[in-house]
Structure 1
Amino acid sequence: MKDNPPYGFHTTLAVIYTLLFLQASFCQTSAQENIKAYLNHLPPHIEISCTVQRGDGTVLFSHQAEKQVPSASIIKVPILFYLMEAVGRGEVDLDEIRELQEEDKAEGSGQLQLFPAGSRFTLRYLAEEMIRISDNTATNILINILGMENIQQWLKGQGFHATQLNRLMMDFEAIEAGRQNYTSAKEINRLFLMLINEDFLSPEYRDEAIHLLKSCADGTAFRRYLPPETEMAHKTGTLDYIRADAGIIFMEKPLVMAVFVEGFKTLEEAEVIIGQFAKMALEDFKEN
């Protein structure tokens, strides 16, 4: 089980699903029907929850968007936003230095687990690594600084119900005890819409959050088939049983979208589906 995305997979049978779809002859009358047809022709073991919206919140496509799913590392998005809000309130400082403790170290993604206890990092660096390479140790330090219950109460106060922070990263005992982190495509999209449309963050810290989300190094999902120059602020997530990507594609009319894939047989199968979805959404909705 992982809280981080793997890299470097070779092409699998998932590519065949995409080719079969592209070769099939459908009579779509709208972009929504085009994506719906693609989803309908995926293997029956695949489960998708997704949504695509304009930056103003207009829903362009939605499929099981309200379904609550394990969030994997997508939960790091609300942690980032709460951090930036706490900085804006003067409760913490991004230049504040924290010392790494042995008990902070978490397996899975990230390099901080390899540093010796006593190593010192700013909160800004912890936030950067949490988003850039989904560092689980950095994430757990931030959760402990900010308070898991505080983050969860913030989510509730903002009207989020499906999105829940109930455990640290890589806490398998918590998972076995039934404490999982959750979200939904609809709610994670709403978080990104809040980022670009609302004043819950000052411009300085909103820009900082967007900058960090643009640094996400995982190019195997949304970015898989998009032009390299595509401007995107996003976060991926991976568990053995779920693969996800969510974020903002910046263009004249920004797109905000989230895709969660369950039931896949290989991670690359899920990544091809997410990548193809993003490619279709960009092509179908960029002029609408």
Structure 2
Amino acid sequence: MTYRSLSPVLLALLLVACTSTKQPRHAMNQLRQKITKTLDQQEGTFAVAFKDLNTGEELFINEHEPFHAASTMKTPVLIEAYKQAAEGAFSLSDSILVKNEFKSIVDGSLFSIGAEDDSEAELYTRIGEKRPFSELLYKMIIHSSNLATNIVIEQLDARKVTQTMRELGAKDIQVLRGVEDGKAYEKGLNNTTTAYDLMVLFQQMAEGKTVSPEASQEMINILLDQQHKDVIPARLPKDVKVAHKTGWITGVRHDSGIVLLPDGRRYVLVLLSKNIKDDKAVTAMLAQVSELIYQNKTKKD
């Protein structure tokens, strides 16, 4: 069959279909070029994973490159906590002892976390007391409390966290331990992630597939209260909501989560970096990448 054998109406419909397919692809290619140009402004290694949950459009840059997870590993820990609670291992309303003594995965030797090195200090005043499990999870996410993280992960078992990530389709995330385990860090025994795996987790959560629709929404509600907002939400309008988890250590700056637009559309965005030299400049640059993606999804044709 040739174009000449088609009726004018069918030919017009075919041309419209071809054009409508090419336009989104062209727009995503242009967006990729803008993002790449922006990332090239700073020294470091960067990864981007984007997925529009309404259209299925995706954009990937170094999506399978491994990165030190930093505090982005707290999202898998949150998911595992809700999973074990749903299985009856404990209740999120149960109280748990606040302590500051943990075992290194290297040799079982004890270590503690300094409040001055943590982004949340109030929990240190509660050492020796019991606090609800749900409170520790909340502090772990919105303030990125390292102390809360270690207390929680000790209860859950890091190996179970990783196994659950595999079940959810995240094939490369490794959760080996809590945070500030100096001996493990020196031996390279670190929690790692990829942009693609974090995208998978947040997509599953947005679609109500992590544990249950109810648990997924509860986790999203916690992530919406995130207090560290200097990357994905930084340059977005105030009416755009972001359910996200950040992560940073020396040379590393991450953000990852679900962006919820006022009209009900949603997309997942993961921005990872390593080997960076200027944290402030990279933070601002990643915020610019987030803005570019937002502009692409909201621009008028």
Q: TM-score range by the shorter chain?
A: 0.7 to 0.9
Write out per-residue CA displacement over residues 124-182 of structure 1, whole angstroms, 9 at most, x where no aligned residue: 00000000110001011110111112112222333433201012111121011121101
Distance 2:193 2:186 in 1: 19
Aligned partners of 2:35 and 2:203: how far apart in 1? 26
Looking at structure 2, the residues matched to 125 and 266 of structure 1 have their Cα atoms a distance apart, in angstroms, of: 34
Quote the residue 1:282 is aligned against: 294
Q: SS of the residue aligned with 2:58?
A: strand
Quote the Cα distance in structure 2 between the aligned partners of 1:229 and 1:244. Answer: 23
- Structure 2 CA distance for partners of 1:221 and 1:277, relative to 1, 3 Å: same
- Corresponding position: 1:73 with 2:71: yes
Name the counterpart of 1:225: 235
TM-score, normalized by length of structure 2? 0.81
- Indicate if the aligned counterparts of 2:54 and 2:267 stay in contact, CA closer than 8 A: no
After the TM superposition, which of the residue ranges 166-175 and 210-219 deviates more from structure 2? 166-175
**Paired residue total:** 261
Instruction: Tell me the alpha carbon deviations over residues 237-274 of structure 1, each in whole angstroms, 9 at most, x when there is no partner.
Output: 00112101000011232110100122322221111111
| Contact residue 168 and residue 210 of structure 2 kept, 8 A | no
Worse overlay, 237-246 or 278-287 = 278-287
Q: Return closer, same or farther for 1:63/1:114 CA change in 2, 3 Å cut-off.
A: same
Sort the Cα spacing of 1:178 and 1:254 in 2 relative to 1 into closer, same or farther, 3 A.
Answer: same
Answer 1 or 2: higher relative contact order, Cα 8 Å, separation at least 6.
1
4+ runs deviating over 3 angstroms:
none
1:166 aligns with 2:176: yes
**Partner SS for 1:79:** helix
> 1:153 pairs with 139, 159, 163, which one?
163
Distance, in Å, in 1 between the alignment partners of 2:230 and 2:83 is: 30
Alpha-carbon shift at residue 39 of structure 1 (Å): 2.1
- Segments of structure 1 that go 5 or more residues without pairing to the other structure are 1-28
SS at match of 1:95: coil
* Partner deviation per Cα, 1:54-73 (whole Å, 9 max, x = no partner): 11582431111111111110
Q: d(CA) in 2 for partners of 1:135 and 1:265?
A: 25
TM-score by length of 1: 0.84
Specify the code of the residue in structure 2 equivalent to 1:139: T
- Please state whether the residue corresponding to 1:222 is helix, strand or coil: coil
Aligned to 1:11: none
| C-alpha contact 1:65 1:184 (8 A) present in aligned 2 | yes
Summarize the alignment of residues 1-288 of structure 1 with structure 2, pairs less than 5 Å apart. 30-41=27-38, 42-43=40-41, 45-55=43-53, 58-103=56-101, 105-107=112-114, 108-112=118-122, 114-251=124-261, 252-286=264-298
**Aligned equivalents of 2:169, 2:209: Cα separation in 1:** 16
Gaps of 5+ in 2: 1-25, 103-111
Instruction: State the alpha-carbon separation in 2 of the partners of residues 246 and 36 from structure 1.
Output: 21
Query: CA–CA distance in 2 between the matches of 1:125 and 1:229?
Result: 27
Q: Identity rate of aligned residues, in percent?
A: 21
- Specify the code of the residue in structure 2 equivalent to 1:276: Q
- The offset of 1:85, in angstroms, is 1.3
Q: What do the CA deviations read for 1:220-250 (whole angstroms, capped 9, x no partner)?
A: 1112111122111000000112101000011
Change (3 A) 1:102 1:61: closer
Q: Give the letter for the 2:281 counterpart.
A: E
User: Bigger CA drift: 38-47 or 147-156?
Assistant: 38-47
When the two chains are superposed, the root-mean-square deviation of aligned CA atoms in Å is 2.1
